Amino acid sequence: MRGGGAGGDPAAKDPRVAKFYITTAIDYSNGDPHLGHALEKIGADAIARYRRLAGDEVRFVMGMDEHSQSVVQAAAKAGVSPQAWVDRMAQTFAAYWTRLGCSHDDWIRTTEPRHARAVTALLERIQQRRPEDLFLASYEGLYCTGCEEFKQGAQIVDGHCIEHPTLTLVPTKEENQFFRLSAYRDRLLELIRSGTFAVEPEIRRNEVLRLLESGLQDISVSRVRQPWGIPFPGDPQQTVYVWFDALINYLSATGFPDAGFARLWPADLHVIGKGITRFHCVIWPAMLLAADLALPRCVWAHGYVQWEGAKMSKTAGTAVTLADAVTRHGPDALRYFLLREIGFENDGDFSWDRLDARYTADLADTLGNLVSRALSMVHRYRGGVVPRDPGHYATPLEAAGREALAAYARAMDAYALADGAAAIIALAGHANRYVEETAPWKLAKAGADAALDTVLANLVRTVARLAGLAGPFLPEKAAAIWDMLGTGRPHGDLRLGDLAAPGLEGRTVAKPPPLFPKG
């Protein structure tokens, strides 16, 4: 699934460095972000941080989808202009993502001029190259303002949208601009089946293939006389449909249509939720094909965070708030919990009991305990200075460390984030057992200096490896461990390869404060 280095920008300093352009879905400007939003941003952030660790030139983009009709209603209710409303919401979302340690390089908002320019340019490009793909037709149907989408068939239950049972479907008849989506069915089937356009995980790929096999209808891509949005090129009565508008953000953030956009495009990975695969795996690639632009390499559709078995976004008012979840044990603990326990593939339940249990067992008692005892023993037996290893790296712990590095890289390359997180805690657990088995206190008492040096050097090396591997999951705590190790290492420059031999002999380590304090 890696982008590969061969196709990079020939003008780049080192052509072997692969670029990795990763995006998340952009969020509607209504309501505060919840744990479902957080899982997606944190997961994408962990992948972006891992790719930097692996040496890729990463571009990580997040943002806001601001042209929804619900913005106009919410703004009116609040007595402010739509722009003032979306400005306020963008600040709220951005503050959460900063608090959760998201390391995005760009923050795109669909009300920005650079985005309107890209939307206009993409539509004009399709109009010029395939005029038959955009046409006027009249449409009559039931519109859900929650989904911003016309609904039909199984999407309607008891007269309501299946996703929004409390909203009223609006009967709508309009003359709209249409996109000839039906023309792209066969090519999309072939591109997805061959893996040229990867839809992951497999369960989502199969869903998308079944959808394509059942046939595609042309879709309306504009709304009439709706002032909030981007005017349709060549038809100012029409406003670009909010989904068509929003999908183009991935291209706007590359600088499209300016020539330099191809330095980033195509995207290497779009991270989205499983509920919007039709837009990202069918409509978006068809739009790109119509414009003769390259398709993203991969779409990864994660599952939902649930609260007592229900999707988090549907349980507003009763479910846990993101603010409470961050406050419980801090942002790093929430990041770790969501990626380890919920994971990035299937749905999973959030519960306070499980969050507390993971915090105590994995973080405090395993990882935190190891860091604390390893560095404390270096102080107790060697005055805080890491000894040279006379054992020439030939211990069971050393072998476990190398295996953990390999298992972690395999998992992270496959976006199996729960397995990557598990590899970290497994190595910390191994190191804790190594302490019990080698009993450094007995070696000290017996004056077995060389054996004690080997144990201490191995433990410190393992702590450094854990700091490196933990960075994508626990960025704040990883930085704190590096500080305790006295490396002064600029964390951004760390590479996976450095962890094979972290080279800490002779450094003075800190007396460790508890990394994961217990209430």
Residue whose CB is less far from Zn ion, 223 or 430: 223
Residue whose CB is less far from Zn ion, 127 or 155: 155
- Tell me, letter by letter, the H, E, C secondary structure of 243-307: HHHHHCHHHHCCCCCCHHHHHCCCCCEEEEEHHHHHHHHHHHHHHHHHCCCCCCCEEEEECCEEE
What long-range pairs does 500-505 form, CB within 8 A, spacing at least 24? 500/402, 500/405, 501/393, 501/461, 502/461, 502/464, 502/465, 502/468, 504/386, 504/460, 504/461, 504/464, 505/386, 505/387, 505/388, 505/389, 505/457
102 is catalytic: no
Residues of span 109-168 touching Zn ion by CB under 5 A: 144, 146-147, 161, 163-164
CA distance 386 to 415: 35
37 is catalytic: yes
| Catalytic residue chosen out of the listed positions 161, 270, 281, 298 | 161
Residue whose CB is less far from Zn ion, 29 or 369: 29
Q: Which tokens belong to 452?
A: 């004690």
Minimum distance, C-beta of residue 490 to Zn ion, in the bound complex (Å): 47
164 is catalytic: yes
Residue whose CB is less far from Zn ion, 131 or 153: 153
Query: Per-residue string for binding with Zn ion, 266-295, x by CB under 5 A?
Result: ------------------------------
| Catalytic residue chosen out of the listed positions 102, 144, 281, 298 | 144
- Residue 463 makes CB contacts below 8 A (sequence gap 6+) with 370, 371, 374, 375, 431, 481, 485
Residue 47 binds Zn ion, judged by CB under 5 A: no
Residues of span 157-216 touching Zn ion by CB under 5 A: 161, 163-164
Residue 28 binds Zn ion, judged by CB under 5 A: no
**Coil, strand or helix at 512:** coil
Minimum distance, C-beta of residue 140 to Zn ion, in the bound complex (Å): 18
Residue whose CB is less far from Zn ion, 226 or 360: 226
Minimum distance, C-beta of residue 70 to Zn ion, in the bound complex (Å): 11
Give the CA distances from residue 203 to residues 40, 345, 495, in Å, rounded to whole numbers and listed in that order: 18, 9, 33
Minimum distance, C-beta of residue 342 to Zn ion, in the bound complex (Å): 24
311 is catalytic: yes
Beta bridge partners of 28: 65
- The three-point CA angle 148-203-210 to 5° equals 65
Residue 314 binds Zn ion, judged by CB under 5 A: no
Residue 403 binds Zn ion, judged by CB under 5 A: no
| Catalytic residue chosen out of the listed positions 37, 115, 151, 302 | 37
Phi, psi at residue 377, to the nearest 5°? -70, -35
Minimum distance, C-beta of residue 169 to Zn ion, in the bound complex (Å): 8
Residue whose CB is less far from Zn ion, 161 or 480: 161
314 is catalytic: yes
| Catalytic residue chosen out of the listed positions 41, 102, 147, 270 | 147
Binding site for Zn ion (CB under 5 A): 144, 146-147, 161, 163-164
Q: Which residues are catalytic?
A: 34, 37, 144, 147, 161, 164, 311, 314
